[in-house]
Structure 1
Amino acid sequence: MIHLPTLPKITRFIHKSKHDIGLAPDELVFRGQKKTDEVVIRVIDFDTETLLEEKLITVEDVRQFKNDNTVTWVNVDGLHNTEIMKDFTSVFDLDTLVMAEVLNTEARPRVVEYDNCDLISIKMLRVDDTTGKTIVENLSLVLTDNVLISFQEQKGDVFEPVRERIRMQKKRIRNGKVDYLAFALLDIVVDNYLYVISVLGEKIETLEENLLINPNQKVINEINNYKRELNFLRKSVKPAKEMIFSLAKTDSDLITAGVYVHFKELEDNISQANDAADDYREILSDQLNIYHTTISSKLNDIMKFLTVFSVIFIPLTFIAGIYGTNFEYVPELSYKYSYFVMWGVMVVVAIGMLLFFRRKKWF
């Protein structure tokens, strides 16, 4: 049984701090929320034969891998320490614009080519196994000649399958360069888009069954909640699609021709995620229309029922009103069975009108 994640509540779709207004584009200021107390730097260095995996103390410790012939993956958890980010700028001779972009967690997904590196930014979705909530954080990848640096907002990610492939000496990733490693990470990110959307889609499809059986206020509240959650996902998926399509068209010296083929695969997967999000959005709109149509139909049935009985009792009330008048001379008063005749006329009128309405298929 799939555990359905609960997506976070959305207060707004864009956040801009007043303190960020007027800052220079290359100002190394953390623009985001602090999500971890400690900045953790982990490194995996490998080639076809060797593998080194360890936790580093300082950024300076990364310098030893800078000019090696191996592929080095440096993963940084936590972005709030600007001094550490300055050290990365110094060790890898990066443009300050690169690190300024990394520190801006509200930035739109993008790919930018610099003189000695490429920057890829994308939103990463993952489901917390303990709470079931979907966590969204900004992921930045900095590609250099033989080092890939991934920057995340907090510890814990979805990249463990990639690490396992490296440890298990999978041929393609161990023979590849940093560009293929970057593809492997982006592939995991996009796969999680598909997973989160599919889980939400399962709830939407289940809701459609309940909608037809028992439409009520609880159903309409769930529809509105799912629309909000889906809009939240689309906020990450649509810009990511634009970024990946741009990435597949770049002419970077750091990306080999063989890896561009894999980026085409990413285009297909992100398009599938985007199309699924759009499809479920249309389904929710259709469900909303079905709800209102069903409620209107039920209301019409109720009004039809009440109208039929109202119309039936109008002539009966008329007859009763006549016999309830207080005239001194009423011919029927002297007739012994007048009371029963009155009831007979009323029953005949009621049955006749019911048969007439039934023949007209009014109810």
Structure 2
Amino acid sequence: MQATENQPTRTSNLGNRLHTMAPLSWQETLQEEETILRLSKPEDEILQAVQRRFNLDELHLKDIRNPAHPPHFTRLGKDAIHIILRFPVDATDPDGETINTSVSLLADARMCVLIWPVERFHIIPREALAGLDVHECACKIIHILVDHLLHRVYQMREDMDDVEDACLADVGKADMALLLQMRKELSSLARIATSNGIAIEKLRQEPGFSGNLRLADAIEHMNRAAVMAESKAEQALNVMQAVQSLLSQRLNDVMKFLAVITVIMTPMGIIAGIFGMNFTHMDILSSPYGFQASIWAMLLLGVVLATYFKIRKWW
């Protein structure tokens, strides 16, 4: 795809003839047979020409321009279809979360149009589409984008395995915020994959697309991605609960230890306080062994209490 596709002009070669992938202007692409038009951030003039070509209403144009539109399938006419699919892109927002975007694919018996509402995030090589007819071209594009989503799920699953292992290895340094963010993204991918699969299944029931092996494989990939993402998100929740339990257990152990130390030291403090009182007559103060006796009494009391706690398994 030419670099000028991100900023199309009247003379830009935004289309191709499918059999040879020879470049065409967008006007030629809309007029000729067996062609593909690929747009990103389309200008109003081009989008209006596509609107006339496929007899789109204003709601369809609004859906095409919406990068957050959910997956959807629409039959435009006897042999024309409009399918919107949603995919993750290789970019993150300022909060570090992966961006998802929608992409529209329009096709009839003569041509197909691939429209990114904003930037073009996925490059589809020309040679991947060369020699295909219109319907096969549309199916190939869908299959390529579906594979990208499935690959993203695989990649996230591996990344989450590493994060989970690190969390369980040292719960004190567990990055729960990162794990929660990754789980949220996987849950989102599961919903997107399910919705994509439903839209592709509706397309597969249309004449010219029924029985297409690429679409069948794309649906299977979306089902697999949804199952894997949901399973991994559930596993991540279990890991988070396990880490929380381990942290709670560690906190309980610390609190138990501090409570035992407090109980052991309290009698010693009482004895020391008694001997620190300013009374004129305290018989033990006159004994040459008074000080040693009080120290040994405090230590013995501490040992007795610690042993008692140990026997009762309070410590």
Regarding TM over 0.5, the answer is yes
- The structural deviation recorded for 1:302 is 1.6
User: Which of these residues, 119, 132, 135, is aligned with residue 179 of structure 1?
Assistant: 135
Q: Residues 341 and 79 (structure 1 numbering): CA distance in 2 closer, same or farther, change over 3 Å? A: closer
User: Which of these residues, 119, 128, 137, is aligned with residue 82 of structure 2?
Assistant: 119
Q: What CA distance in whole angstroms lies between the structure 2 residues aligned with 1:73 and 1:135? A: 30
**Counterpart contact for 1:74–1:147, Cα < 8 Å:** yes
Question: CA RMSD, aligned part only?
Answer: 3.0
**Counterpart contact for 2:171–2:243, Cα < 8 Å:** yes
SS of alignment partner, residue 252 of structure 2: helix
Indicate the larger mover: 294-303 or 212-221.
Answer: 212-221
The one-letter amino acid of 1:202's match is E
Counterpart position of 2:69: 107
Q: What CA distance in whole angstroms lies between the structure 2 residues aligned with 1:59 and 1:96? A: 20
The alignment status of 1:338 with 2:290, answered yes or no, reads yes
Q: How many residues align?
A: 301
- The structural deviation recorded for 1:120 is 1.3
- The structural deviation recorded for 1:326 is 3.9
Equivalent positions of 1:105-184 (< 5 A) are 105-115=67-77, 116-127=79-90, 136-153=100-117, 154-155=119-120, 157-160=122-125, 163-166=126-129, 174=131, 177-184=133-140
- The structural deviation recorded for 1:273 is 1.1
**Counterpart contact for 2:35–2:111, Cα < 8 Å:** yes
Q: Residues 73 and 298 (structure 1 numbering): CA distance in 2 closer, same or farther, change over 3 Å? A: farther
- The structural deviation recorded for 1:334 is 3.8
Q: What CA distance in whole angstroms lies between the structure 2 residues aligned with 1:322 and 1:134? A: 67
Alpha-carbon displacement from aligned partner over 1:244-293 (angstroms, at most 9, x marks no partner):
23334x2x2232x431x543332221011112222232233233323432
SS of alignment partner, residue 141 of structure 1: strand
Query: Structure 2: any 5+ residue segments left out of the alignment?
Result: none
The one-letter amino acid of 2:136's match is Y
Counterpart position of 2:203: 247
Counterpart position of 2:310: 358
Q: Which has the higher helix share?
A: 2
Q: What CA distance in whole angstroms lies between the structure 1 residues aligned with 2:170 and 2:217? A: 42
Q: Using structure 2 for the length normalisation, give the TM-score.
A: 0.81
Q: Residues 133 and 105 (structure 1 numbering): CA distance in 2 closer, same or farther, change over 3 Å? A: closer
User: Which of these residues, 221, 225, 250, is aligned with residue 177 of structure 2?
Assistant: 221
Equivalent positions of 1:266-345 (< 5 A) are 266-345=218-297
Q: What CA distance in whole angstroms lies between the structure 1 residues aligned with 2:211 and 2:171? A: 53
Query: Structure 1: any 5+ residue segments left out of the alignment?
Result: 1-34, 47-51, 66-71, 168-173
- The structural deviation recorded for 1:60 is 3.5
Counterpart position of 2:42: 80
Q: What CA distance in whole angstroms lies between the structure 1 residues aligned with 2:233 and 2:81? A: 34
Counterpart position of 1:258: 211
Counterpart position of 2:27: 59
**Counterpart contact for 1:144–1:254, Cα < 8 Å:** no
Q: What CA distance in whole angstroms lies between the structure 1 residues aligned with 2:286 and 2:240? A: 64
Q: Residues 144 and 292 (structure 1 numbering): CA distance in 2 closer, same or farther, change over 3 Å? A: same
**Counterpart contact for 1:126–1:158, Cα < 8 Å:** no
**Counterpart contact for 2:102–2:116, Cα < 8 Å:** yes
Alpha-carbon displacement from aligned partner over 1:122-179 (angstroms, at most 9, x marks no partner):
1233436xxx99664332222212422222344452422xx43455xxxxxx5x6433
Q: What CA distance in whole angstroms lies between the structure 2 residues aligned with 1:126 and 1:44? A: 27
Q: Using structure 1 for the length normalisation, give the TM-score.
A: 0.71
Identity %: 19
